[in-house]
Structure 1
């Protein structure tokens, strides 16, 4: 990993090797999935199981059509068939590879199916009881699957063949779903909760363009659907853009979460408390996943800078205006621009600028417990205001309860396997 002082997030990505970029993609897809493990426990405490279910439905319905549309545009997925829908699912934080092990089948352009050979989300929820399983696999999945599908084709429908609660208890695959597109079927409308997210700065932010002439790998996804995406087969340029898009998916889901929680209560303090707890939990786990993926083996200031600049809850920099810098061997500064699109949207960056720095502490502690977040200050840089937060060595910090809650999920220590080269799926069953 590059160790340039003053490296912002985009520059940090561009300093990674091709292999490091490819390794990071599934890691960030997984941390996106774990955002819900970070937020849902606090929703249950505040609103009960039914309230949690309502928020989960609304946040995914709000965000997934927006970020699916972005990944289609970025990678040239310009068709409207089942194959195109499946391509988008492979790059969706709702379906991180292997942890949510989708296996696809294409019958023809308008008909197909998928099973989950392994559903990490199910295995997390099954110990909580059948009511929670039903809430996730029935109440939440029905509307959210369709919301994802309409980004490809508004006449698409995703319907279950079987799904949990599992009978027998060890049934495999965990579930099976049919996907159909009927040309004369009524189009599904855009969900009302999606419209505010489509109007955010996040929805339209410009990210690093893919070099169409790159010769070191794939530059788009216009070819056949692959059974598994092998990210090492993509060009360096494409991997940078994919990582930025996946990072932005985190931000869009958080905005959907914030809107949904705000509809549950008019108490702004309660909303921000829940939103902050969600951010703290996922910030710590994301830093930890980046470290354990093999990016760093030390705990010095430059390592902390790199991990903070790669942590998806703080990026992409084009959106958040956040960067970490090493001042010296014992001090790191985090700069957050006040003119960023993220602050206009009122999402996670707003919490940090307002003085809620628990997420920075959780992210720094994952690198080493002796990194301690200090006071924040406002400075002027060439006529632009920034918040600056200092992180220095101090007494070892205990892990926050918010991070500990996320460890309930097996995703926090999930290990990705090398499945070998990718292979295309046949267009028809053979």
Structure 2
């Protein structure tokens, strides 16, 4: 049974509506890059095949949980392909433009999508066909269905074509059908998903969306080809930002459990710290640049305040002023990212502040669950942490979003097909 939570004001509520519209794509992309950070270290620890299994387990555990949360939050619950497609548009597994999903709706129960650009493919294609097959076949087959099960357990996502690409420059990068049919045996949730449903991340209460603001308060209208976050109200964008941060925490919890099944507690903690450190630095750099935050200590504290590591506020208890003070929270109960930081482990916090200025550092005092971090300036710039450098290899670290018009998608009829 879900435990009731006292509602805590979101840290994102301090931002202007236009800044939140810039922030949302950045947060979605940061969620995608979690695997670019973590899986490199899993290959070193367990090999490529086992890394693939870890990825399958984490996404199958997390995506049905956070997909249902997002549907409820934005008011687009349903059982059809439009509901599935709307969920994908707000999923860290499919950040806009970097994973450039294009949708076709034939009717409520039949649809298709293609990826005109797949940033994840661009990252793994140079590694060879084994890695491409691992991602585009071994990972996608079970995880696409696991995401769809949050909407309808009789949904099936099947490839029209997918990489390895033949010819090598084939476009779109892949294309898939989505069919919902009563004749399909229902897909069940994975054991990891069932376990994750009892986490605090799955049940934490967030600020409700307030009606009356300028802009959309939900996504109950037509499916859009591209989401223009500037069309949503400030209240809706605050809730979206918090939900996307929770998606990251849920994915990380799935990752942590999968890793712990394969090694001892200390080995799992080392891998989880490496994963967090890498994504912490790249996300901080992108947030700092996208929101045009100041430099120095002031800028580092602002980035920390808005970073997924410390959000949402209802999940991670922290106060940010002249320093960051962390107290016991639901995130500590789950063993989430914040539980990896403290006086004994400063690397994730250092990665954040050094993304703003390599001369910055953190001094941390307190206990494992209750500590204060102060940002200080050193005389000599620090070398980029190895974990951040590994994550930077992803094309997502330097990806640039472009303005797009948000146009409604209307059903085209069963005779239409995606061009291959």
By the TM > 0.5 criterion, same fold?
yes
Who is 2:256 aligned against?
Answer: 258
Who is 1:3 aligned against?
Answer: none
CA distance in 1 between counterparts of 2:126 and 2:393 reads 10
Q: CA deviation at 1:191?
A: 1.1
Who is 2:397 aligned against?
Answer: 412
Question: Contact 1:210/1:219 (CA < 8 Å) preserved in 2?
Answer: yes
Please state whether the residue corresponding to 1:317 is helix, strand or coil: coil
CA distance in 1 between counterparts of 2:106 and 2:149 reads 19
The correspondence of residues 58-137 of structure 1 with structure 2, limited to 5 A, is 58-137=57-136
Please state whether the residue corresponding to 1:159 is helix, strand or coil: strand
Question: Contact 1:93/1:249 (CA < 8 Å) preserved in 2?
Answer: yes
Question: Contact 1:10/1:316 (CA < 8 Å) preserved in 2?
Answer: no
Question: Contact 1:371/1:391 (CA < 8 Å) preserved in 2?
Answer: yes
Aligned length: 406
CA distance in 2 between counterparts of 1:40 and 1:415 reads 23
The correspondence of residues 166-315 of structure 1 with structure 2, limited to 5 A, is 166-211=165-210, 213-265=211-263, 267-296=264-293, 298-315=294-311
1:350 and 2:339 aligned: yes
Q: CA deviation at 1:312?
A: 1.1
1:365 and 2:349 aligned: no
Alpha-carbon RMSD: 1.4
Q: CA deviation at 1:300?
A: 3.0
CA distance in 2 between counterparts of 1:389 and 1:419 reads 40
Please state whether the residue corresponding to 1:398 is helix, strand or coil: coil
CA distance in 2 between counterparts of 1:185 and 1:278 reads 37
Deviation per CA, 1:110-144: give whole Å up to 9, x if none: 00000000000001000000000000000000000
Who is 1:145 aligned against?
Answer: 144
Question: Contact 2:256/2:268 (CA < 8 Å) preserved in 1?
Answer: yes
Q: CA deviation at 1:232?
A: 0.2
Please state whether the residue corresponding to 2:295 is helix, strand or coil: coil
1:402 and 2:387 aligned: yes
Please state whether the residue corresponding to 2:321 is helix, strand or coil: strand
CA distance in 2 between counterparts of 1:12 and 1:314 reads 9
Q: CA deviation at 1:239?
A: 0.3
Q: CA deviation at 1:10?
A: 4.9
Who is 1:336 aligned against?
Answer: 326
CA distance in 2 between counterparts of 1:322 and 1:261 reads 27
Once the two structures are overlaid, the 10-residue window that deviates more, 305-314 or 53-62, is 305-314
Question: Contact 1:277/1:402 (CA < 8 Å) preserved in 2?
Answer: yes
TM-score (norm 1): 0.92
The correspondence of residues 4-43 of structure 1 with structure 2, limited to 5 A, is 10=9, 12-43=11-42
Question: Contact 1:12/1:306 (CA < 8 Å) preserved in 2?
Answer: no
1:321 and 2:317 aligned: yes
Question: Contact 1:281/1:404 (CA < 8 Å) preserved in 2?
Answer: yes
CA distance in 2 between counterparts of 1:10 and 1:139 reads 41
CA distance in 2 between counterparts of 1:95 and 1:244 reads 17
Q: CA deviation at 1:225?
A: 0.4
TM-score (norm 2): 0.94
| CA distance 1:406–1:10, change in 2 (3 Å) | farther
Question: Contact 1:114/1:178 (CA < 8 Å) preserved in 2?
Answer: yes
Uncovered stretches (5+) of structure 1, i.e. residues with no partner: 1-8, 327-332, 380-384
Once the two structures are overlaid, the 10-residue window that deviates more, 402-411 or 189-198, is 189-198
Question: Contact 2:216/2:236 (CA < 8 Å) preserved in 1?
Answer: yes
Question: Contact 2:343/2:367 (CA < 8 Å) preserved in 1?
Answer: no
Uncovered stretches (5+) of structure 2, i.e. residues with no partner: 1-7
1:425 and 2:414 aligned: no
Once the two structures are overlaid, the 10-residue window that deviates more, 278-287 or 351-360, is 351-360
Question: Contact 1:378/1:388 (CA < 8 Å) preserved in 2?
Answer: no
Q: CA deviation at 1:215?
A: 3.7
Please state whether the residue corresponding to 1:318 is helix, strand or coil: coil
Question: Contact 1:406/1:412 (CA < 8 Å) preserved in 2?
Answer: yes
CA distance in 2 between counterparts of 1:378 and 1:414 reads 38
